Amino acid sequence: MDDRVIIRFNHVTKQYDNDLPVLDDVSFEMERGKFYTLLGPSGCGKTTILRLIAGFIEPTKGDIYFHGKRMNNVPANKRQVNTVFQDYALFPHLNVFENVAFGLRIKKIGKEDIERKVKEALRFVNLEGYEQRAIHEMSGGQRQRVAIARAIVNEPDVLLLDEPLSALDLKLRTEMQYELRELQRRLGITFIFVTHDQEEALAMSDEIFVLNKGKIEQRGTPKDIYDEPVNRFVADFIGESNIITGTMIDDFVVEFANQQFACIDRGFAKNERVDIVIRPEDLELTTVERGKLRVRVDSVLFRGVHYELCCYDTYGNEWLVHSTKKADIGEEIGLHFEPEAIHVMKRSGGE
Amino acid sequence: METPMYQSNHRKIALGLSLIPGFGQLYNRQYVKGISFFILAASFLIVFKDLLNMGWWGIFTLGEVVGRDHSIFLLVEGILAVIISVFGLGFYAFNLRDAYKNGQKRDLGLKISSLREQYRALVDNGFPYLMISPGFILLVFVVIFPIIFVVLLAFTNYDLYHSPPAKLVDWVGFQNFIDLVKLDLWRKTFINVLAWTIVWTFGATTLQIALGIFLAIIVNQKDLKGKAIIRTIFILPWAVPAFVTILVFSGMFNESFGVINKTILAAFGIKPLEWMTDPFWTKVALILIQTWLGFPFVFAMTTGVLQAIPNELYEAATVDGASSWQKFTKITLPLVLYATAPILITQYTFNFNNFNIIYLFNGGGPAVSGQNAGATDILISWIYRLTMTSAQYSKAAAITLLLSLVVVSVALWQFRRTKSFKEEDMM
């Protein structure tokens, strides 16, 4: 067994009563010292995984291993895991110092040790000098940091973060993304971060698990997931994309919108129906003559860094284009793209 | 505007003329205002001249001739005179200020507002004051007036032996307070009643709070079935009017016929207890009844607070390895007390003055020799007894003052802690 692996899920299923399983036969490994993100829409089971790791709930089937040891039914406080809760779960009646010291006091650690460790944890999250503040005197971002300090003061091997940034405003959220990433590097422990915000996931993670309906759809680095989504769900969930159906005529040749295009994908059966993804930023505005696709502009939004154009081709396919050039509504334009921009995926069930 | 350049001396002349209300305004060429001020002041003097004259004389002397002067009526008139004088002086001050301000405006070469503009300004800026003034004036006579009356009464010798019209009442300074401490009968009664009031307040209230919180926490357990029904049952004592409950209990605790002695204690083979005649058992019964009456409120409130505590707090504590007991003492209890403390304090002040139960259960009895209060009389019911049965009005007033001191300071302290005085959220 690879000793870098810190958490291993072996065919874990979690089911409440006789409902559909929240988590359906999931297996994965996580390595120490990495920043993992569990990404998915609400109800996809990401929080369930977190709570299984934390020990708040037990799997219905399957085993969970920490450092290669089976951890089912080990109580939460005996696992080298700590949690930063979504709403921080700070104790409103205690000040910052006592909030951070709570766990240490429970463990009956000596007074000087507590003082030292709490100070250190607060220094880690840049909250020195705030020891005596009451929680309600702290801003959202500061509370967030207190919550993190409270978790890391116990020196866990794994830190679980349950959508910790969702209550913050956009600017603070971006700031905290940097800080969390930085903190993870300094501490060198495993972070498991749950979010439904794909931008957050892409920005922070070493590795992303995209979950849907209790299953892991895809795992990989942010770049892999963004560039090579394995199916329609992942492509749709990560970033904005144009997903249309097409036919794989041959290796490196795909047909959609009644035209054949060169691509770099292979290994599909001849004439297999496939899903095509082209990211909006890979589409380039050009004249009708020079474009590979001929579309009519339906609406234009100014997004700051670029314009977002919504266009339709003659077959009714919608094309979202991100461009620094502007086009007028109703105008006929051409779209150009490179063969590398086309990403072909196996069709996933449904539709 | 530090050193305004005055071009004339209108402000001083207006101020001086205003010593007779209205004249300053007339000088400022505000004729309608000036005339109405003058008429107001004149009618004030004509209408209240006698009352003020009589009142001010009365409040100082409390009457000089037995038979002609009724001291208590004079005292009442005196207080009225004081209140009316305050209103009158307020108006007078306003008149002076108005004349001076408008004179100042003229000195600075500014235009004086017309009657219409003044009316506008009054309606715009003075609207809230205009609206509350009827209520405020009513409040002065309904609330402040009796308070002043009681305060003043505490410094007289008004009792059975100094009752008009046969006798006059006199000012005696702090004699009533001195008597409470110096005279044996009063000192003994005062100390005993005060001691029982404190025991009663803390015993009954703490018990009802403890029971309320305890039950709320028990009923709030996750896996308990039928919470709604249980909660409804626990709220029931609150739904029955307190005086009905007390009277029913008073019957149940009856020594010879009551169900408690006859049936319940008998079933356990315990001899009948003297619930109504033994001071100790009466006190026990009172505290038990008050616990019964008071716990549902605390129960309901605590239940609300408990449900507002996020489950994540307990999970966070679980991660830190806290036991159930530690979670209770370090999270649940502090949070409940933290959120309910202000209201719990009102429970204490409520019981401190809980006249109903003392009076209805056993009339403050049983009687005790060597003191003029019953064994279960608390301060408030003792005051009632002094006023209604022994006609010790001035002593009762003095004790009322002492009692108010406690209640008012607690109330003030508590109000200071609530959000009306500071803008902060707690949770």
What does the pLDDT look like over B19-58, one tens digit per residue?
888 888 888 888 888 898 899 999 999 999 888 888 888 8
User: How big is chain A, counted in residues?
Assistant: 351
Asked if B265 and B287 sit in the same domain, the reply is: yes
Give phi and psi for A2, each to the nearest 5: -70, 120
Last residue of a domain, one of B123, B141, B172: B172
Asked if B276 and B416 sit in the same domain, the reply is: yes
Mean pLDDT for B70-80 is 88
Q: What are the tens digits of pLDDT across the range B267-297?
A: 888 888 888 888 899 999 999 999 999 999 9
Last residue of a domain, one of B124, B154, B172: B172
pLDDT for res A97: 92
Which of B305, B314, B319, B422 to probe the A interface (max A CBs under 10 A)? B319
H-only helix segments in chain A: 46-54, 96-106, 111-124, 140-152, 170-187, 198-204, 222-227, 232-237
For residue A222, give every residue at least 6 positions away whose Cβ sits within 8 Å of its Cβ, in sequence order, or none: A201, A202, A203, A205, A208
Q: How many CB atoms lie within 10 A of CB B240?
A: 12
* pLDDT exceeds 60 at position B425: no
Q: How far is CA A327 from the centre of its chain?
A: 34
pLDDT band (50, 70, 90) for residue B206: very high
Q: What are the tens digits of pLDDT across the range B315-324?
A: 888 888 888 8
Last residue of a domain, one of B172, B200, B230: B172
Question: How many residue pairs from chains A and B have C-beta atoms closer than 8 A?
Answer: 64
Give the one of B319, B321, B425 whose C-beta lies nearest to A136's C-beta: B425
pLDDT for res B422: 53
Cβ of residue B316 closer than 8 Å to a chain A Cβ? yes
Pairwise CA distance, residues A21 & A32, whole Å: 28
Domains of chain A: 5-232 (3.40.50.300), 240-346 (2.40.50.140)
Residue type, B367: A
Q: What is the total count of domains within chain B?
A: 2
Asked if B300 and B338 sit in the same domain, the reply is: yes
pLDDT band (50, 70, 90) for residue B427: very low
pLDDT band (50, 70, 90) for residue B298: very high
Q: Searching chain A, which residue's CA lies closest to the CA of residue B335? A: A93
Residue type, A180: L
Asked if B194 and B135 sit in the same domain, the reply is: no
Q: How many CB atoms lie within 10 A of CB B343?
A: 14
In a domain, B280, yes or no: yes
Residues of B in Cβ contact (< 8 Å) with A76: 315, 318-319
pLDDT for res A168: 81
For residue B190, give every residue at least 6 positions away whose Cβ sits within 8 Å of its Cβ, in sequence order, or none: B180, B181, B399
In a domain, B3, yes or no: no
Those residues of chain A that have pLDDT short of 70 are: 1-2, 348-351
Residues of B in Cβ contact (< 8 Å) with A91: 313, 330-331, 334-335
Element (H, E) at B417: helix B393-417
Question: If you compute the radius of gyration of chain B from its CA atoms, what whole number of angstroms results?
Answer: 31
Peptide bond into A280 cis (omega under 30): no
pLDDT for res B3: 56
Domain of residue B381: give its range. Answer: 176-424
pLDDT for res A350: 41
Asked if B198 and B107 sit in the same domain, the reply is: no
Pairwise CA distance, residues B385 & B379, whole Å: 10
In a domain, B1, yes or no: no
Asked if B235 and B161 sit in the same domain, the reply is: no
Asked if B155 and B252 sit in the same domain, the reply is: no
Cβ of residue A167 closer than 8 Å to a chain B Cβ? no
Asked if B80 and B219 sit in the same domain, the reply is: no
The answer to whether the Cβ–Cβ distance between B334 and A81 falls below 8 Å is no
Asked if B141 and B219 sit in the same domain, the reply is: no
User: How big is chain B, counted in residues?
Assistant: 427
Cβ of residue A54 closer than 8 Å to a chain B Cβ? yes
* pLDDT exceeds 60 at position B351: yes
Element (H, E) at A339: none
Q: What separation, in Å, do the N-terminal and C-terminal C-alpha atoms of chain A show?
A: 41
Q: What is the per-residue DSSP string for A72-97? A: TT--GGGSSEEEE-TTTT--TTSBHH
Question: A100 with A82: CB under 8 angstroms?
Answer: no
The nearest CA of chain B is from the CA of A213 a distance in Å of 24
Which of A85, A87, A117 to probe the B interface (max B CBs under 10 A)? A85
Left (φ > 0), alpha (ψ -120 to 50) or beta: where does A197 sit? beta
Cβ of residue B423 closer than 8 Å to a chain A Cβ? no
* pLDDT exceeds 50 at position B299: yes
Q: What number is the ipTM of this complex?
A: 0.74
pLDDT band (50, 70, 90) for residue B246: very high
In a domain, B408, yes or no: yes
Q: Which residue has the higher pLDDT, A1 or B67?
A: B67
pLDDT for res B421: 52
In a domain, B119, yes or no: yes
* CATH number of the domain encompassing residue B278: 1.10.3720.10
Asked if B191 and B232 sit in the same domain, the reply is: yes
* pLDDT exceeds 50 at position B91: yes
The answer to whether the Cβ–Cβ distance between B318 and A56 falls below 8 Å is yes
pLDDT for res A2: 62
Q: What are the tens digits of pLDDT across the range A310-327?
A: 999 888 888 999 988 888
The nearest CA of chain B is from the CA of A56 a distance in Å of 7
Give the one of A86, A91, A107 whose C-beta lies nearest to B313's C-beta: A91
What percent of chain B is modeled with pLDDT above 90? 29
The chain-wide mean pLDDT, for chain B, equals: 86
Cβ of residue B315 closer than 8 Å to a chain A Cβ? yes
The nearest CA of chain B is from the CA of A116 a distance in Å of 18
Asked if B373 and B263 sit in the same domain, the reply is: yes
Asked if B339 and B223 sit in the same domain, the reply is: yes
B-facing residues of A in 84-103 (CB < 8 A) are 85-87, 89, 91-94, 102-103
Give phi and psi for A295, each to the nearest 5: -135, 165
Cβ of residue B330 closer than 8 Å to a chain A Cβ? yes
The answer to whether the Cβ–Cβ distance between B310 and A87 falls below 8 Å is yes
pLDDT for res B70: 86
Residue type, B14: A
In a domain, B257, yes or no: yes
